[in-house]
Amino acid sequence: MRTVRALAPYLVAIVVAAGPFLTDDRFLLKVLTFVGLNALVIVGLALLFGFAGQVSLGHAAFVGLGAYASAVCSVRFGWPWIVGFIAAGSLAALGGLILALPSLRLKGHYLAMATLGFGELASLAFVEAEPVTGGVDGFSGIPFPSIGGFEFREPAALYWLVWAIVGIAVLLATNLTALRPGRAMRALHGSELGALASGVDTTGIKVRVFVLSATLAGLAGALYASVVGFVSPSVFTVGSSVTFLAMAVIGGTGSLAGPLVAATALTLVQYLDALIPGISRDTARIVQSFQEDVYGMSIVLVVLLAPRGVSGLLKRLGSVGRP
């Protein structure tokens, strides 16, 4: 039993990595690539919400920042994809820093409103900065990612690229939470006063976590732009930020696994009718019409009844089988 437990993460990694060998369904690979993009954002948000106890209602703006940055770099400047990718992450990080530095003096509820204001402001900017973003008509003709001479144009290649980056992010985040900063973050979530008293630099940690999560969102945006090939402001709204937050909250606090499972499930629900062939169209439609209701309701229920979310559920599930 113990060995299985130790091996589990590797098992997941192998299954995820083997995806394109298990199916040649290009549509499914595309959907799973989108799952990966959301997962990348959620790794950052899970750190922010689940470990540092902060709420962001503006992460879609960072995704947008990254998407436009990489689109501009590759289309307007003709720079190699990887440069645009790094630029996207850096720009989002900078945005995160600018937002986090003043917010650090404020408590959780102020950061939530500040990020909401930032998200709304960014939505306006994406529409209005037409020479850069293409305005409401969007930005089209964004090339596929390419590194060196290799272009990731096949669905399988895109799938591997995205999930490889998710894998790196997860590794990074796992190490972070296992080390001293992680324990400090958890202390933060428990009681900020307590954490302060025991000599934890709470504001410094909050800022760093926020910047990290913004960076991951920016990178996800860069990947989104080159996977889809088209970017428009309607994707990066506060509504999307709430969806991301719902994934993180439902996923639960104190672990990465819960939020990742939640992100996977909540993304797949959107493609329900296409993924489960037997399901009647009406059923799928009802599910999809009520999707946002479900998000909202889940947030309320999780906060009220199971504050640890899917993570807590998984833990309890695990301990049933414990000898």
Partner 1 sequence: MQCGTMVAELLQFIIAGLKSGAVYALVALGFTIVFGATGAINFAQGEFYMLGGMTGVLLTTWGVPLPLAVVGAVMLTAVIGAAFELVAVRPIASGDPLRIIMVTIGGSVVLRQAALHLFGPDERALRPFTAGPSLRLLGAAVERQTLWVWAITAMAVVVLAVVYRQTMFGKAMRATSIRRDAARLVGIDASAMVTASFGLAAALGALGGLVVAPLTQTAFYVGSGMGVKGFAAAILGGLGNPVAAVGGGLILGLLESLTAGYLDPLYKDAVALVVLLGVLFLRPQGLLGGRGTEKV
Partner 2 sequence: MERLSVSLVFVLLVAMLFGCAGGTKDAADEGPKPVKIGAVLSLTGTYAGLGEAEKRALELEVDRINASGGIAGAPIELIIEDDGTDEAKAVAAAAKLIEQDGVVALIGASGTGQTMAMRGDVKRAGVPQISLAGGTVVTGEFDPLVFQTPWSNRIVVPFVLEAINRAGHTKVALLSDSGGYGKDGRAVIMENVASAGIELVADETFNPGDTDLTAQLTRIKASGAQAVLLWTAGKEAAVAVKSARELGLDQPFFGGSGQARVEFIEGAGEAAEGFIFGTGKSLVPANWGEGSVQFETVSDFATRFETAYGEQPDIFAGHAFDALTILADALDRVGPDASPQELRDAIEATNGVVGFGGTFTFSKTDHNGLTTDDLALYTVESGKWVPVK
What is 59-105 written as a DSSP string? HHHHHHHHHHHHHIIIIIS---HHHHHHHHHHHHHHHHHHHHHHHTT
**Interaction of residue 129 with partner 2, rule CB under 8 A:** no
- In sign, the C-alpha dihedral spanning 287, 288, 289, 295 is positive
Count the site residues for partner 2 by CB under 8 A: 65
Beta-bridge partners for 139: 231
Instruction: Determine the residue type at 279.
Output: I
Interacting positions 284-313 with partner 1 (CB under 8 A)? 290, 292-293, 295-300, 303-304, 307
Interacting positions 252-271 with partner 2 (CB under 8 A)? 255, 257-258, 260-261, 264-265, 268, 270-271
Closest contact distance (angstroms) between CB of 202 and partner 1 is 13
Q: Output 22 or 193, the one with its CB closest to partner 1.
A: 193
**Interaction of residue 80 with partner 2, rule CB under 8 A:** no
**Interaction of residue 279 with partner 1, rule CB under 8 A:** no
**Interaction of residue 136 with partner 1, rule CB under 8 A:** no
List the structure tokens of 265: 């499930």
Q: Which does 105 bind (CB under 5 to 8 A by kind): partner 2, partner 1, none?
A: partner 1
Location of structure tokens 């008509």: 137
Interacting positions 220-239 with partner 2 (CB under 8 A)? 224, 228-230, 232, 234-235
Closest contact distance (angstroms) between CB of 58 and partner 1 is 11
**Interaction of residue 283 with partner 2, rule CB under 8 A:** no
**Interaction of residue 238 with partner 1, rule CB under 8 A:** yes
Distances from the Cα of 190 to the Cα of 53, 54, 196, angstroms: 8, 12, 11
Answer whether 115's CB lies under 8 Å from 240's CB.
Answer: no
Nearest CA-CA partner of 259 in 39, 62, 33: 39
Q: Which does 27 bind (CB under 5 to 8 A by kind): partner 1, partner 2, none?
A: partner 2
Kindly report the length of the chain: 323
Answer whether 264's CB lies under 8 Å from 280's CB.
Answer: no
**Interaction of residue 193 with partner 1, rule CB under 8 A:** yes
- What are the residues binding partner 1 (CB under 8 A)? 53, 55, 57, 102-103, 105-110, 112-114, 116-118, 120-121, 124, 128, 193, 238, 242, 245-246, 249, 290, 292-293, 295-300, 303-304, 307
